[in-house]
Amino acid sequence: MKVDELIIDGFKSYATRTVISGWDGQFNAITGLNGSGKSNILDAICFVLGIASMATVRASNLQDLIYKRGQAGVTKASVTIVFDNSEVSKSPIGFENCSTISVTRQIILGGSSKYLINGHKAQQQTVLNLFQSVQLNINNPNFLIMQGKITKVLNMKPTEILSLIEEASGTRTFEERKDKAQKTMAKKEAKLTEIRSLLKEEIDPKLEKLRNEKRSFLEYQQTQTDLEKLSRIIAAHDYTKLSHSFTNYSNSLSEHESRMAALTSEIDKLGNEIKNLNDDLTHVRKQREAELNNEGKLKELESQEARLSTEITRLNTSKEIAHDNLKDEQNKKQKLENQIAEIQSNLENNSDTYNSVKNDFDNATEQLQKLKEEYTKKDELLSTLSTGVSATGDMSTGYSAQLKEFKTKLNTSQNFIKTSKLKIAHLESQISNDKKKLVQAKAENQNILSDMEAYRSDIAAMEQEVSSKLGFDPSVIAELKSQEKQFHNDAYKLNGELNHMKREIGNIDFQYSRPSANFNDSLVRGIVAQLFELPETSNDKALALQVCAGGRLYNVVVENSEVATQLLERGQLKRRVTIIPLDKIHASSIDPRTVDYAKKLAPNKVELAINLIEFQDELVKAMEYIFGTTFVCNDPNTAKTITFDPKIRSRSITLEGDVYDPEGNLSGGSRKNDSSIIIKVQRYNKVSKRLSEVNYKLNEIRQEIQRMESLIENTKGLQNELLLKKHELSLLERKLENNPSSVILKQNQANEAEISGLQEQIRQEESNCQNFEKEINVIEKDIREFNSDKGSKLKDLKKDVVALKKEVEKKQVVLDKLTDKYQAIEVEGEQQKSDLIQARASLQTTIDTIQELTAKISSMEQKGAELNDTLVIVRVQLEEEKANLLGLDEEINELMKIIKDKNESLSNSKLEMQKLNHELEKSSTITKNLKNRLDAIISENDWVTDANVVENLVQQHPNINLDEGRDQLEVLQEKFQSMKRKVNVNIMSMIDNVEKKEASLKQMVKTIEKDKSKIVNTIEKLNGYKRETLNSTYQKVSTDFGQIFADLLPGSFAKLVPSNMMDVTKGLEVKVKLGEVWKESLVELSGGQRSLIALSLIMALLQFKPAPMYILDEVDAALDLSHTQNIGHLIKTRFKGSQFIVVSLKEGMFTNANRLFRTRFQDGTSVVSAM
C-alpha cells in the first residue's frame, strides 16, 4: 500500500486545494527553498496517519494546522491520501477488493476532527488499525525520520540504542504484555492482600467469636439436658422421701394424742394429793410461825448474816483490785523516777557544756562584731586618707569626720542624761503625790483577787471531777482538733499535688463500673506504670525503661481472663484500653546464662530491664511480658556489642532511649531523662501513698474525737457549770483590769519601771560619754601624728587593716564552728527539758493515784475488820435460835419431802405433757409442711403421680447424695440462667454462613495464587522470548549496519556491541573502525562521519523490518555532496520494496529520485510542481 496521490486543502501553508499526484512507488524527493512548504507535505502525511504528538508536526495544537490559524478566512484544514492497493497480498484486512484506498482527515476551527475512509466517516481507532495492519504504526513511527533524529541517534546512550533495536524487533509488544501481566499480578496481589486482610481482620475473628458462641450454645444445650435430668432425679427422691416421712409423722401424731389423754388424767390425780399435803404443811408452819413470833429474832439474824457476808465479800474483792492497781502505779512511779533522774543527770551534764559553749559563742560574736567595726572604720579611714574617698564612696570618713561624729555622739548622750534626770524627778514627784491613792487601790484590789482565787479553786475541782469521769483531759480534744485541721490541710495539699501530677502524666487512672454486685475489685491490679517501683539508684534508667515498655506502660493488669471479659463487656470503660490477664499472658524472659554472659561482656554497663524494677511476685508474668526480653545499656557501644553478639541477639536500649534491634533497625534521638513518665509516676505513687496514710490518720483522729465528744455529752451538765464558773472568773478579771484602782496601780508600776529603766540608761550613757571622750582624745592625737608624719601613719594603718582582716576571717571561722555546736546543744537541751516536763507531769499524776489507792486500801481494811467482828456475833445468836425451832422443822421437812416427790412426779408428768404438746405441734407443723412440699413437687412435676416412673428413677440412681445433687442443681441453674442471657440461639445458621464465606475466600486465595504462578511463568517466558529476539535482531542489524556504513564510507566498518557481553538487555554500544583502527569513542570522529554512522544505523533498522513507506526529512543536512549521492544510491538500490518520500536540498539526493517535486512560496501560499 503506497501513496498514489496527496490532496492538501487549508493545511498549514497550503491555503487552497493542492493536488500532488504521480508519486513513484519507490523513491520520491521533495525540494525547494527554505520556508516554501517542503516539510509541510510530510506533516500532512503524518497528520492523516494519525500522529498524536503535535511536536512531531511542529504545532502546539490542532488549530495551528489550519492556514494562518483561521485568520485568513480559511476555517478548516483537510488532507487526503490516495493509496495504491493493487498488491492484494499486502492489502489491509477487509480492503482486499479495493484497488485504491483514500483516507481523509479533516479539522475545523475550534478543534473538532474527523476521519473518512473511501468517503465514509470512520473512527480514529479504525484508521489507526488499518495503518498498523500494514506496519505503519504512527505511535511507534520507525518509518518516520524527521529533522533532528540524526542528532538524537548520535547522542543516544546504550539503553536508548537498545530501545531502537526493541522497536525494530517488535519486543516492545513483549514489554507491553509483560507490563500488563505485572499490572494484572499487582491487582491479583492487591486482591490477595485484601482477601487475606478480610480473613484475618474480619472473617477469622468473627468465626472465632461464632465458634466460641457455638461452643457456648452446645454447652448451654448440654447444661439444659443435665439440669432437667438432675431435677427429675432429685424430684423423684424428694417425693419418695417426703411420702415416707409424711406417713411416719401421721402415725406418730395418733400415738401422741393417745398418750396426752393418759397424762391429763394422771396430772389431775397428783394435783389433788399435793393440795391436801400443802394444807397439812400450812397448818404446821402456822405453828412454827407462832413460835417465831414468840421468840422473834431468827429472821432478823439471818437477814443480818446474809447482808454482812455479802458486804465482806464485796469489800475483799475491791481491796484486791486496789492492791493490784497500787502495785502497777508503784512500778510506773519507779520507772518515771528513774527516767527523770536520767534526764536531770543528762541536763546537769549538758548544762555546764551549754553555758560554756554559749559564753564562747556570745564572746566570739561580740569580738567578731567589734573587730568588723574596727576593721571597717580603719579601712574607710585608710581609703579616705589615701584617696580622699572612703571604700564606700563617702568623702566624709576621715579623721575630721570621725572627730565630728564622736563629738556629736558625746553631745547626744549628755543631752539624754540631762533630759532623763528631769523626767525621773517628775515621775518621783508623781509617785509621792499618789501614795494615799495607792493604799486605797491595793485594798480594793485585794477583795477582787480573793474572789478570783476562790473561783479558780472551784474551777480546778470541777475540772478534776470532769477528768475523773471522762478518763481523759478535755483539753486533749482541742489538740486532736488541731491535728485534724493539720491533717485535713495536708490531705488537701496532697490532693492538689496529685491532680497537678495527673495533668502531667495523663491516662494514669483506670476507671470502670463494677460489672456485677459481687465483683472482687482486688482482681483488677491496675495500670502497669503503678505496679512496679524504680529504686532511686536506677533513676537514670527511667527513660530506657519507658522506651522499653512503650504503650504497654498504660496496659491494665487483671487476675484472669474472666475478669478481663467482664470489664470489657460490662465495665463501661471510659476509653480504649489493653488488658493483660495473668492467667493467659505468654511471657518469656532471657535465659539467666545469657544475662550473665552479657554482664561479663560489658561489666557494670548492662542489665536486664526486669532486674532494674521491684514488683510483687504474682505480677512476674506481666513484667516479663513487658521488660523480660530487653537489655538496658549505659552507652551506644555497649548496646551494639550486646545486641549483635551471636550468643545474645536481643534488643537493647541505651540510657538516652536509643533502640538497637538485632534485625538491624535503629531508632532514637535526643531526649532528656527529666521528661521520663516513669519518674513522674513514681513520684505520683509516693504522693498517693502519703495521701492514704494521711487519710487513715485523719479518720482515726475523727473517730477518737467522736468517741470523746460522746463521753463529754454524758457530763454536759457539769461542764456547763464549769463554763459558767470560768465566765464569772473572766468577768472578775475584766473588772480587775478596768477598775480605777487597777489603773492607778498599773500606772504606779509603770512609773517605777520607767524610773528604773531611765536610771539604767543614764548609767550606760555616762559610760558611753567616758568612752566617747577617750575616742576624741585618740582621734585628736592621730590627727596630730598624721599631720606631722603622713607616710608612716598610712603604713601603720595599712598594717593594722591587713592584720584586722586576717583576724576577722579567723574569728569568723571560729564563730561558724561555735554556731553549729551551740545550735546542736541548744536543740538537744530543749528536747531534754520537754521530756523532763512530760515525765514530771506523769510522775505527779502517778503519785496522786498511789496516795488515793493507799488511803482507799487502809479504809477498806479497817471497815473489813469491823464487819468480821459483827458477823461472828450474829452467827452465835443465830445458832441459839435455830436449836429452839428444830422439832417443828423436822416435821415440816418431812411434809416438804413428800410434797417435793409429788411435785416432781407432777412436774415430770407436766414436762412430758409439754414435750408431747411440743411434739404434737412439731409433728403437725412437719406434717403440714410435708404435705405442702409434696403438693409443690406434684404441681411442678406432674409426672411424680406415676409411681412406676418415680420408682424407676429411684432404682436407677439409688445411692445419689441429695445434698450434693441439690448443690449441683443450684450450680446448673445458675449456669443455665447465666448462659441463657448470653447464648445466641441462631448461632448454628450464622456460623454456617460465615464458614461458607471463609471457604469461598480461601478457594479464591488458592485460585489467585495459581493465577499469580501462571503470570510469573508467563513473564519468565516473555523475558526469554525477548532476549532471544533481541539477540537475533541486534546481530542482523549490526551486520546490515556494518555493510551500509562500509558502502557509505569505503574502507570503514561499524558494528553494535552489547555493554554487557553476558546480557544484551543491558544496552548496546556503537563501535567504529576507520581503516585498521577501532575508535574508542564516537567523539574521535568528524561531524560528517558521525552523521554517516547515525544514518547507517537508521538504514539498518529500516532494512530489518521494511515498512511500505518511509518519510525522511533532510537527513543529509550534515553531509557533503558525495556522501549525499551515496545515500541516495543506497536508498534506490537497497530498499526496492518500500516507497521513500525524502525532503532534501541537495542535488546528490534528488538526482537519484525517480520522482521529484519542487515547492515554492507564491502569493502567501505554497505551490507544488512536478519535475
pLDDT in tens, 144-176: 777 667 667 767 787 777 777 777 676 666 666
Q: Is the pLDDT of residue 53 over 80?
A: no
Exposure letters 682-698 (e unless 16+ CB within 10 A, then b): bebbebbeebeebbebb
∠ CA(1154), CA(1160), CA(1163), 5° rounding? 150
Domain total in the chain: 3
In whole angstroms, give the CA distance from residue 162 to residue 1057. 10
185 and 126 both lie in a single domain:
no
Nearest CA among 54, 38, 37 for reference residue 46: 54
CB 632 within 8 A of CB 678: no
Find residue 240's DSSP bridge partners.
none
pLDDT mean over 108-113: 81
Residue range 749-759, pLDDT digits in tens: 788 888 888 88
Do the domain assignments include residue 162? yes
Binning pLDDT at 50, 70 and 90, where does residue 78 land?
A: very high
Other CB atoms within a 10 A radius of the CB of residue 660 amount to 24
Lowest pLDDT segment from 89-93, 160-164, 488-492, 805-809: 160-164
DSSP per residue, 1031-1071: HHHHHHHHHHHHHHHHHHSTTEEEEEEEEETTEEEEEEEEE
Q: Is the pLDDT of residue 553 over 80?
A: yes
CB 783 within 8 A of CB 776: no
Q: Is the pLDDT of residue 104 over 90?
A: yes
1113 and 1095 both lie in a single domain:
no
The predicted pLDDT at position 476 comes to: 72
In whole angstroms, give the CA distance from residue 1009 to residue 1004. 8
Residue range 792-802, pLDDT digits in tens: 767 777 777 78
Binning pLDDT at 50, 70 and 90, where does residue 293 land?
A: low
Nearest CA among 1136, 1141, 1116 for reference residue 1126: 1116
Q: Is the pLDDT of residue 744 over 80?
A: no
Angular region, 1148: left φ>0, alpha ψ -120 to 50, beta rest: alpha
DSSP per residue, 518-574: T--GGGEEEEGGGS-B--GGGGGGHHHHHHHHGGGGG-EEESSHHHHHHHHHHS--S
165 and 99 both lie in a single domain:
no
Q: What CATH number is attached to the domain comprising 520? A: 3.30.70.1620
Q: Given the DSSP bridges, would you call strands 2-9 and 76-84 parallel, antiparallel or unpaired? A: antiparallel
In whole angstroms, give the CA distance from residue 771 to residue 370. 14
The predicted pLDDT at position 298 comes to: 65
1084 and 1152 both lie in a single domain:
no
pLDDT mean over 775-787: 77
pLDDT mean over 1001-1022: 80
Binning pLDDT at 50, 70 and 90, where does residue 116 land?
A: very high
The predicted pLDDT at position 883 comes to: 56
**Percent helix, strand and coil across the chain, each rounded to 5?**
70, 10, 20
In whole angstroms, give the CA distance from residue 651 to residue 571. 36
Burial (CB < 10 A; 0-12, 13-18, 19+), residue 813, is: exposed
153 and 138 both lie in a single domain:
no
> Does residue 425 or residue 166 have the better pLDDT?
425
Nearest CA among 14, 22, 1 for reference residue 1153: 22
In whole angstroms, give the CA distance from residue 121 to residue 114. 7
154 and 138 both lie in a single domain:
no
966 and 1102 both lie in a single domain:
yes
∠ CA(1108), CA(1109), CA(1112), 5° rounding? 155
Q: Is the pLDDT of residue 100 over 50?
A: yes
Do the domain assignments include residue 586? yes
Residue range 455-464, pLDDT digits in tens: 788 877 777 7
Do the domain assignments include residue 1112? yes
Please report, for residues 490, 505, 509, 516, 689, the alpha-carbon distance to residue 684 in angstroms, rounded to integers and kept in the order given: 16, 9, 11, 30, 9
DSSP per residue, 697-739: HHHHHHHHHHHHHHHHHHTHHHHHHHHHHHHHHHHHHHHHHHS
Q: How many helices (H) and strands (E) does the chain have?
A: 26, 23
Do the domain assignments include residue 467? no
Q: What CATH number is attached to the domain comprising 35? A: 3.40.50.300
In whole angstroms, give the CA distance from residue 474 to residue 459. 13
The predicted pLDDT at position 80 comes to: 94
Residue range 117-150, pLDDT digits in tens: 988 898 888 888 888 777 776 665 666 777 667 6
The predicted pLDDT at position 470 comes to: 62
CB 1036 within 8 A of CB 1050: no
Binning pLDDT at 50, 70 and 90, where does residue 103 land?
A: very high
515 and 624 both lie in a single domain:
yes
At 8, give phi and psi (nearest 5°).
Answer: -120, 135
The predicted pLDDT at position 389 comes to: 47
Domain finish residue from 673, 692, 716: 673
Residue range 618-672, pLDDT digits in tens: 888 888 888 888 999 989 889 888 888 888 888 899 988 888 988 877 776 645 5
Lowest pLDDT segment from 705-719, 810-824, 1066-1080: 705-719
> Does residue 220 or residue 543 have the better pLDDT?
543
Contacts of 704 (CB under 8 A, 6+ apart): 480
The predicted pLDDT at position 889 comes to: 66
Q: Is the pLDDT of residue 377 over 70?
A: yes
Q: Three-state SS string across 41-73, please?
A: HHHHHHHHHCCCCHHHHCCCCHHHHEHHHHCCC
pLDDT mean over 1043-1054: 81
Domain finish residue from 1088, 1106, 1124: 1106
Q: Is the pLDDT of residue 680 over 50?
A: yes
Please report, for residues 496, 498, 885, the alpha-carbon distance to residue 492 in angstroms, rounded to integers and kept in the order given: 6, 10, 85
Do the domain assignments include residue 906? no
Q: Is the pLDDT of residue 1069 over 80?
A: yes
Residue 919 identity (one-letter amino acid): E
At 372, give phi and psi (nearest 5°).
Answer: -65, -45
User: What average pLDDT is seen over the chain?
Assistant: 79
CB 557 within 8 A of CB 526: yes
Domain finish residue from 648, 673, 698: 673
> Does residue 163 or residue 298 have the better pLDDT?
163
pLDDT mean over 893-910: 78
Contacts of 481 (CB under 8 A, 6+ apart): 705
Residues found in the chain: 1171
1047 and 1003 both lie in a single domain:
yes
Contacts of 90 (CB under 8 A, 6+ apart): 1, 134, 1108
Nearest CA among 265, 273, 295, 263 for reference residue 914: 263
Binning pLDDT at 50, 70 and 90, where does residue 526 land?
A: confident
Looking at residue 1075, the DSSP 8-state letter turns out to be T
| Cβ contacts of 150-156, under 8 Å, gap ≥ 24 | 150/1091, 150/1094, 150/1095, 150/1098, 150/1115, 150/1117, 150/1118, 151/1094, 153/1094, 153/1097, 153/1098, 154/1082, 154/1090, 154/1091, 154/1093, 154/1094
Binning pLDDT at 50, 70 and 90, where does residue 507 land?
A: low
Looking at residue 85, the DSSP 8-state letter turns out to be -
User: Does pTM top 0.75 for this prediction?
Assistant: no
Do the domain assignments include residue 881? no
At 82, give phi and psi (nearest 5°).
Answer: -105, 115
The predicted pLDDT at position 776 comes to: 84
In whole angstroms, give the CA distance from residue 1123 to residue 1045. 11
Do the domain assignments include residue 433? no
1055 and 1114 both lie in a single domain:
no
3-class DSSP state of 147: coil
> Does residue 63 or residue 709 have the better pLDDT?
63
> Does residue 2 or residue 1101 have the better pLDDT?
2
Terminal alpha carbon distance of the chain? 24
pLDDT mean over 302-317: 75
The predicted pLDDT at position 630 comes to: 92
pLDDT mean over 866-889: 69
pLDDT mean over 677-706: 83
Do the domain assignments include residue 323? no
| Residue listed under C-alpha cell 478518763 | 471
CB 745 within 8 A of CB 448: no
993 and 1047 both lie in a single domain:
yes
pLDDT mean over 946-952: 77
3-class DSSP state of 323: helix
> Does residue 475 or residue 1127 have the better pLDDT?
1127
Residue 41 identity (one-letter amino acid): I
Q: Is the pLDDT of residue 395 over 50?
A: no
In whole angstroms, give the CA distance from residue 662 to residue 653. 12
Q: Is the pLDDT of residue 857 over 80?
A: yes
- Would you give the distance in Å from CA 932 to the centre of its chain? 62
The range of the structural domain enclosing residue 1032 comes to 147-246+942-1068+1076-1106
CB 41 within 8 A of CB 8: yes
137 and 227 both lie in a single domain:
no
